[in-house]
Amino acid sequence: MKLGCSSWSYHAAFRTGRMDLLEWVRCCAEELELDGVELVDLHFPTTDPVYLRDLKKLCTDLQLTISGIAVSNDFGPDERRAGETTRVQQWCDIAAYLGAPVVRVFAGWMPPGRTQQESGVIAGVLRRIFGQRGTNQRRLWSDVTWALRQCADYAAERGVVLALQNNRVDGLVGTPMQLAQCVHDVGSPWLRVCLDPADMLDLAGIDESLARVVQVHARLRDVGEDGADARIHWPELLRTLKLAHYRGFVHLDYEGFENPQTAVPRAARYMRGLLHVLARQQLLRPPAEDAPSTNGAAAIDEAEEVATYEAATPVG
């Protein structure tokens, strides 16, 4: 697996003018020593061809992969759906030019004032949950999957893959089951999954999505002194991803209140240490109960190894 960062991690710095996209790209390469970057549409000051050309060359010069483009779309509202579809398609064009293989998208958001539980838009069990009350919700689900299908067809023409991200805060897709069902209902090989474990309503059924994952987001809010976020156990999740043969990018996605210019470097150091340890491990699936015991080469204390790795790694 490779370590990257979403520009959303520095959204506060962009908003206040402390940093622009080109400066952030340099930070990712020279300070954070990352493998790739995900560029969020909101952080582009312009999509002028000259700017895009210079951005692409800078990433090439820094040997930094543009691992994805992210679009802040919403296919939920009827009155916005056509425009949002066009918007995603335009960013597919930009991604193709920049050489980004993936465009991250959302399904959409709940109508104002309604939570996911209240709306009942739970893919795969629509009939059981809605009964006679679910006509509007079923229509919304159908409209959203239609929009995603149009975008996936366009993305295929441009040679990029759409990655659908889960979102639990009033999002239409908030669980592994919903994520897998949405991709299934769209029915395009060009729509895959961006897995955001920390932003799921629950992790039950996560295996349903693993085979379709092309991106992973490491959403962080409370970054401790050691760089970890206590809300989610990343050593275990990374192990699960490796067992599923995931070899793509894990993008840092910081959303905390601390200055990202101090929080993100700690998080990057922590995640890089975990990936370093994981790369050295020979992961074995649990043996059958009647199987003979092995030497347990995979039973490694992650915390101890990460501490050893960090102690041997110069700061910065």
- Domains in the chain (CATH in brackets) are 2-311 (3.20.20.150)
What is the pLDDT confidence band of residue 314, given thresholds at 50, 70 and 90?
very low
What sections of 99-198 are H helices per DSSP? Answer: 116-119, 126-130, 135-158, 176-186
Closest to 268 measured CA to CA, from 66, 32, 11: 32
Of all residues in the chain, what percent carry a pLDDT higher than 70? 79
Asked which of 57-66, 123-132, 181-190, 269-278 is least confident by mean pLDDT, the reply is 123-132
pLDDT score recorded for residue 307: 54
Q: Note the pLDDT of residue 298.
A: 40
**Residue 316 pLDDT class (50, 70, 90 cuts):** very low
Give pLDDT, residue 80.
92
In this prediction, residue 177 has a pLDDT band, given cuts at 50, 70 and 90, of: confident
Lowest-pLDDT range of 1-5, 117-121, 292-296: 292-296
pLDDT of residue 200: 77
Query: Residue for token digits 């149009």?
Result: 150
- The full length of the chain comes to 316
Check whether 154 has a pLDDT greater than 60: yes
Can you tell me the mean pLDDT for 116-124? 44
Confidence of residue 286 (pLDDT cuts 50, 70, 90): low
Question: In the prediction, which pLDDT does 111 show?
Answer: 62
How wide is the angle at C-alpha 225 spanned by C-alphas 220 and 229, nearest 5°? 25
Higher pLDDT among residues 167 and 313, named by residue: 167
Partnered with residue 5 across adjacent β-strands are 37, 252
pTM for this model (two decimals): 0.84
| Per-residue pLDDT at 132 | 37
**Quick one: average pLDDT of 126-147?**
68
Looking at residue 282, the DSSP 8-state letter turns out to be -
Dihedral of the alpha carbons of 18, 21, 22, 27, in degrees to the nearest 10: 70
Whether 134 has a pLDDT exceeding 90, the answer reads: no
> How far, in Å, CA of 12 to CA of 251, rounded?
17
Higher pLDDT, 293 or 67: 67
Residue 121: pLDDT band with limits 50, 70, 90: very low
Judged by DSSP in three states, 205 sits in coil
Is the pLDDT at 14 greater than 60? The verdict is: yes
